[in-house]
Amino acid sequence: MSKDIGKVLIVDDDEDVLLAARLLLKKHADLVHIEKSPDQIPTLLKNEEYDVILLDMNFSEDMTSGKEGFYWLDEILKIDPAAVVILITAYGDVDLAVKAIREGAMDFVMKPWQNEKLLATLSAAMRLRQSRAEVDTLKYRQKVLSDDLDQPFATMVGNCGAMEKVFRTISKVAETDANVLILGENGTGKELVARELHRQSLRNNEVFISVDMGALSETLFESELFGHSKGAYTGAREDRPGRFEMAEKGTIFLDEIGNLPLPLQAKILTVLQNRRVTRLGTSRPIDIDVRLVCATNMPIHEMVANKEFRQDLLYRINTVEIHLPPLRERQEDIPLLVDHFLKQYSQKYRKPQKRVNSATLKKLQTYNWPGNIRELQHAIERAVILSENQTLQPQDFFFSGSVSREEGLIFDNYNLEEVEKLVIRKAISKHAGNVSRAARELGLTRASLYRRLEKYGL
């Protein structure tokens, strides 16, 4: 059971003082460490994170001036700028007390102390430590949130049958804490779905933290997700919470989770099973309470069958699956999306409201949109910026190296194996035999594409 006071370190050269303090505090603190020699302070702080440090001002080398106490106060704050230090001395000196607080001490007590007063001071110090930790976490949350302020659009647009199904699923799932896996091609709006799940959830007053798993290097993976302590590795100049800690009580969105290598999948699984993270450089686990939403454009079920993605991790993340259709299957939503983006970018770039004519809309509706909604968004933005026409014309949109539906793949029949063979041939041809690039465009792994090439004798 947690006590009122957390972890306490007491440094004093008087053994009687150390024993008396430990006897008093062991009933009220989670942990009490005592130490006679201040030279051990750096080692102690490296091995443990203390909530409060009681530090003697005068050691045997210097009985009255307090110089040693000020020296070690400075050293402690260099090691841990958030440390809460209470200086203790047998000499009541008001000027010394004022100077100690100016130098960074939280408070000042005299020996012999009154037990009730010492406990009250330690309780206040504990509250200060917790407040500082919360402020640090909020600072990092704010930094992450500031990167998300300029969103492509604030609401989801669409009324086709497939999107209505998505909306219904979001409404059913949002108020639960069920883990959700969003599947769909790049540019289909997976993060928008995640944000909508958060907006409609019971956690909507808390933070939404988005993490692009595909952009995390293996070396920074644990530091970014789980946090680190000062000195945990070269360049770690301060304690830092990870994304899971920052998402406490809110929602964490792990985008492109299918790109994670197997060893990193195991680390994520451990966190999700235990609901705890441990910062790099420490051994202290931290409980987490987050809503988990994941997304990928990879064929994740096929990856499980091919042992490229852990089945136990998939079970953890996909209590509910939401499948987002590509834009080429939402042709009836294109006018709505075009209108939405025209309003957004006309306003952003302070231009009169632009519109499209029927010929332009037909061109947009017959194009295949391999980049999905994101590609449409960028096309509209570019046209709004560059076109001098109030009504956008077909020539205001140029799709380099791409084809429309009318110019695209034509199937003699719709047998799935024959369609798949034709699509694979086209992808291999387009990329001049480069299997890696063809696999990426097809949304497959290299191994999966090789198996299909062997299956079809291609």
pLDDT value, residue 337: 94
Q: Which domains does the chain have, with CATH numbers?
A: 5-131 (3.40.50.2300), 161-323 (3.40.50.300), 327-396 (1.10.8.60), 416-456 (1.10.10)
Least confident of 23-27, 104-108, 305-309: 104-108
Q: Which residue has the higher pLDDT, 457 or 164?
A: 164
Q: Which residue has the higher pLDDT, 132 or 142?
A: 132
pLDDT value, residue 92: 59
288, pLDDT greater than 70? yes
Q: Which residue has the higher pLDDT, 416 or 453?
A: 453
309, pLDDT greater than 50? yes
When the pLDDT of each residue in the chain is averaged and rounded to a whole number, the result is 84
152, pLDDT greater than 70? no
User: How many Cα atoms occupy the beta-carbon half-sphere of 363 within 13 Å?
Assistant: 17
112 upstream amide cis, omega within 30 of 0: yes
Least confident of 178-182, 214-218, 362-366: 214-218
Give me the percent of the chain exceeding a pLDDT of 70.
88
Asked if 68 contacts 61 with a C-beta cutoff of 8 angstroms, the reply is yes
pLDDT value, residue 142: 61
Q: Which residue has the higher pLDDT, 76 or 154?
A: 76
406, pLDDT greater than 50? no
Least confident of 93-107, 134-148, 339-353: 134-148
Mean pLDDT confidence for 185-200: 92
Quickly state the pLDDT bin for 118 (edges 50, 70, 90): confident
pLDDT value, residue 93: 61
Asked if 167 contacts 156 with a C-beta cutoff of 8 angstroms, the reply is yes
Q: At what angle do helices 334-348 and 358-366 cross, to 10 degrees?
A: 110
pLDDT value, residue 46: 84
233, pLDDT greater than 70? yes
Predicted TM-score (pTM) above 0.85: no
289, pLDDT greater than 70? yes
138, pLDDT greater than 50? yes
Quickly state the pLDDT bin for 407 (edges 50, 70, 90): very low
For residue 128, what are its two tokens? Answer: 């200060």
pLDDT value, residue 1: 42
Least confident of 299-313, 360-374, 402-416, 426-440: 402-416
pLDDT value, residue 3: 62
pLDDT value, residue 411: 55
